[in-house]
Structure 1
Amino acid sequence: MPPPSIRTIKDCRLEDADRTWDAIRVPRSVGLDALAILGGRSGALLEDPLSAALFWFIPPEDAAEWDVAGTRVLDEDAHLPIPSDGRTHGPGPHWRVRPVAEAWTTEAAALQAALEDAASPCLGVGR
């Protein structure tokens, strides 16, 4: 008998956080502004419409120092539904920025700066 599997949305597989990356959960409202600030410096970015959240991936060693208000590092007990590389639209989890072998993770310092700028009350002044 095959081992039991966890069902998830079509074209997604359930992955443990804290293996080759740590995931940072960010509210969609702030995350979209942060993505605009990061531009091409963003690595893969997962969007989950059900939770209204975006998930960036950073190198695991950088998570211990993570301290950005309104965000959360997913620990080793967390799981994420990881869509196939081609899934760029919903329904369900999909890639806002598709993963590329050499750019799966985002530099933690750049992500932190972008999130802090995005959450700043001055963002949008003068636009």
Structure 2
Amino acid sequence: MIAPAEALPPGSAVMQHLVESVGTACCPAADLADLAEVVRALLAVEARRDTRVRLGGHLFDVVITSSGVQARSVVALMDEIQGGCGPVIEDPDSGWLYWLVPPGSSGRWEPHTHAVCLGAPHTITLPSLNRTVPPGPYWLRPSASDRLVPTAPLREAVAQLRPEPPPHAAFTARLGIFP
């Protein structure tokens, strides 16, 4: 219960008026809920916990390739192009690399024989920042706040070096998201 305005100090009376003017149907803005979700996820990763995040939005999309020898050559080439490759997660259990690319990339990504690009509404589990070796998914190239992997050079490198096997069949069977 809110106290009567006359019993409150002047600043509290103003706050009381604002509370009453909002009424009972008070819902947080959708963008603030999204921001809160992003902040919680980033704090969890920073606190060295694995955390699941939505792709797209303002964070990143993901390009998925195999993690074989050719894919390691793509990482080395991206190291040269970027002066240190942007963030890449390796999942040794699935045999995939997850390249964190700018948000919105999945909407512009043309079909590719050796890579798949996903954005919203899909999610990814980010390993804790201190996980740089297996077991489980780990940061092959650590996440840095100032960079993602640029899609155009990545696409060219993947087309040139052709990481095998292509992820499409395994990805389709495992996640069941493609027709």
Name the TM tier (shorter chain).
0.7 to 0.9
TM-score normalized by the length of structure 2: 0.56
Query: Does 1:13 find its partner at 2:51?
Result: yes
1:102 counterpart SS class:
coil
Partner of 1:101, secondary structure, is coil
Task: Report 1 or 2 for greater relative contact order, CA contacts < 8 Å, sequence distance ≥ 6.
Answer: 1
2:133 counterpart residue number: 89
Is contact 2:49–2:128 with CA below 8 Å preserved after alignment?
Answer: yes
Rg comparison, structure with higher value: 2
| Aligned counterparts of 2:136 and 2:152: Cα–Cα separation in 1 | 29
Give the unaligned 5+ runs of structure 2: 1-47, 164-179
Count of residue pairs the alignment pairs up: 110
Identity score, percent: 22
Aligned to 1:28: 67
Whose strand proportion is higher, 1 or 2? 1
2:122 aligns to what? Answer: 78
Shift in CA distance, 78/72, structure 1 to aligned 2, threshold 3 Å: same
Structure 1: tracts of 5 or more residues without a match = 1-9, 121-127
Deviation at 1:46, TM superposition (A): 0.5
* Contact residue 115 and residue 158 of structure 2 kept, 8 A: no
Distance 1:61 1:74, change over 3 A: closer
Offset of 1:101 from its aligned partner? 0.9
Q: By percentage of residues, which structure has more helix?
A: 2
Change (3 A) 1:86 1:18: same
Ranges of 4+ aligned residues in structure 1 off by more than 6 Å: none
SS at 1:60 equivalent: coil
What's the RMSD between the two structures over aligned residues? 1.8
